[in-house]
Amino acid sequence: MKTVGYAAHSSDAEMVPYHFERRALRANDVAIEILYSGICHSDLHTVNGDWGPQPYPLVPGHEIVGRVLEVGPDVTKYKVGDHVGVGCMVDSCQACDQCDHGEEQYCRHGMTGTYGSPDRISGEITQGGYSKHIVVREEFVLRVPDGLDLSRAAPILCAGITTYSPLRTWNIGKGSRVGVIGLGGLGHMAVKLAVAMGAEVTVLSRSTKKEDEAKAIGAKGILASTDAEAMAKAKASMDLIIDTVPVKHDVTPYAPLLDVDGTLVIVGQVGPMSGFMSVPMIMGRRRVAGSLIGGIKETQEVLDFCAEHNIHPICEIIRPDQVNDAYEVMTKGDIAHRYVMDMSSLSVED
């Protein structure tokens, strides 16, 4: 299938239109016309080569919402016209213990990323959602429930599941006290989801500048990490802290905010942190953990949860030809929303 997307051809070049082929449908494949494609901070890190060399040309994008165009003969869950989503994975071994219990992101043989990964059968490099079409095996296609606004659903597939999974893993519910570091794409979803689960949520940020935004989505307020007095007063007041900061930083200043047995879970930055102090960990049996997206079953669960609770990411809709400008804004600072591309202006004929 002929398609078109926006591809990076090297780590220092802007993304440009790129014509390429999607594979012919296998028996268990679903072909999707992409309607909306979210822009994740990890797309930017990947195309910039921050996480190692990439197989260019590379079409990023793993927050995909679209419509089913065609299905292979063995597909049973979807039919032409269904609204569907694709997140960060498009395949896994489907046979190991992790895949068996629905945590394909921790597949013993490595999951296949939506872009930049070799396909398990053909070996060709997967290309992501900044494109008009995608072909994905049925098991990795999600259903977008009717209650969700299609134009604002895409970021749930990465920003949503990345924060939902730790909230579930650490049993957040009524009365839980949750801190969220950073109020960007991931952070604002963490706040909305934790609030919907019944938690009391505090945003942790360098300043209280975004206090109104935090309160508008249900947070109790902002605790400024630069305010030593306020930080000392908040000691041992949280059960879980979700750290969404995507750049190198030190988690030590936040650790004392955790109550005994509390956990700080890193979901934003991938790579070396800038320092680590064991004292607050030891003195309160506190933990530092990490978490990677969520399994397919849980991703369907967060889509359904968002529909049920009318939770939508805060999105700014742009055209695909504005992607480089969006990257520039994202590189400069933290924005409290997600860029989502409306793919309707992208045509295979151009």
Single residue of 8, 15, 31, 42 touching Zn ion by CB under 5 A: 42
> Hey, which residues between 147 and 166 contact Zn ion (CB under 5 A)?
158
Quick one: which of 116, 34, 92 has its CA closest to 341? 34
Determine if the peptide bond prior to 57 is cis (ω within 30°): yes
Provide the minimum distance between the beta carbon of 108 and Zn ion in the complex, in angstroms, as a whole number. 5
Provide the minimum distance between the beta carbon of 173 and Zn ion in the complex, in angstroms, as a whole number. 26
Provide the minimum distance between the beta carbon of 267 and Zn ion in the complex, in angstroms, as a whole number. 10
> Hey, which residues between 80 and 99 contact Zn ion (CB under 5 A)?
92-93, 96, 99
Kindly provide the residue ranges of all beta strands, DSSP E only, lying in 42-183, ordered along the sequence: 64-71, 83-86, 89-91, 112-113, 133-137, 142-143, 177-181
> Hey, which residues between 259 and 318 contact Zn ion (CB under 5 A)?
none
Span near Zn ion by CB under 5 A; candidates 42-50, 70-78, 135-143, 250-258: 42-50
Span near Zn ion by CB under 5 A; candidates 36-44, 119-127, 273-281, 336-344: 36-44
Q: CA 320: distance to chain centroid?
A: 19
d(CA 141, CA 60): 17
Span near Zn ion by CB under 5 A; candidates 8-16, 40-48, 205-213, 303-311: 40-48
Judged by beta carbon, residue 99 or residue 255, the one nearer Zn ion is 99
Judged by beta carbon, residue 113 or residue 320, the one nearer Zn ion is 113
Judged by beta carbon, residue 3 or residue 42, the one nearer Zn ion is 42
Judged by beta carbon, residue 92 or residue 163, the one nearer Zn ion is 92
> Hey, which residues between 315 and 344 contact Zn ion (CB under 5 A)?
none
Judged by beta carbon, residue 94 or residue 237, the one nearer Zn ion is 94
Number of H helices and E strands in the chain, helices first, is 10, 17
d(CA 224, CA 226): 5
The residue nearest Zn ion at its CB is: 40
DSSP class of residue 207 equals S
Provide the minimum distance between the beta carbon of 256 and Zn ion in the complex, in angstroms, as a whole number. 30
Check binding of 172 to Zn ion (CB under 5 A). no
Q: Which residues contact 98 (CB under 8 A, 6 or more apart)?
A: 104, 106, 107, 108
d(CA 81, CA 41): 30
310 and 304 Cβ atoms separated by less than 8 Å? no
**134 bridge partner residues:** 32
Provide the minimum distance between the beta carbon of 280 and Zn ion in the complex, in angstroms, as a whole number. 30
Using DSSP's 3-state secondary structure scheme, residue 140 falls into: helix
Check binding of 107 to Zn ion (CB under 5 A). yes
Check binding of 238 to Zn ion (CB under 5 A). no
Judged by beta carbon, residue 152 or residue 177, the one nearer Zn ion is 152
Provide the minimum distance between the beta carbon of 216 and Zn ion in the complex, in angstroms, as a whole number. 24
Judged by beta carbon, residue 40 or residue 306, the one nearer Zn ion is 40
Judged by beta carbon, residue 188 or residue 286, the one nearer Zn ion is 188
Contacts of 213-217 spanning 24+ positions with Cβ under 8 A = 213/183, 213/188, 213/336, 214/183, 217/188, 217/191, 217/192, 217/314
Provide the minimum distance between the beta carbon of 160 and Zn ion in the complex, in angstroms, as a whole number. 10
Q: Residue count of the chain, please give it.
A: 350
d(CA 236, CA 259): 4
d(CA 127, CA 113): 9
Judged by beta carbon, residue 155 or residue 262, the one nearer Zn ion is 155
Provide the minimum distance between the beta carbon of 92 and Zn ion in the complex, in angstroms, as a whole number. 5
- How many binding residues for Zn ion (CB under 5 A)? 8
338 and 185 Cβ atoms separated by less than 8 Å? yes
- Residues at the site binding Zn ion, with contacts judged by CB under 5 A: 40, 42, 92-93, 96, 99, 107, 158
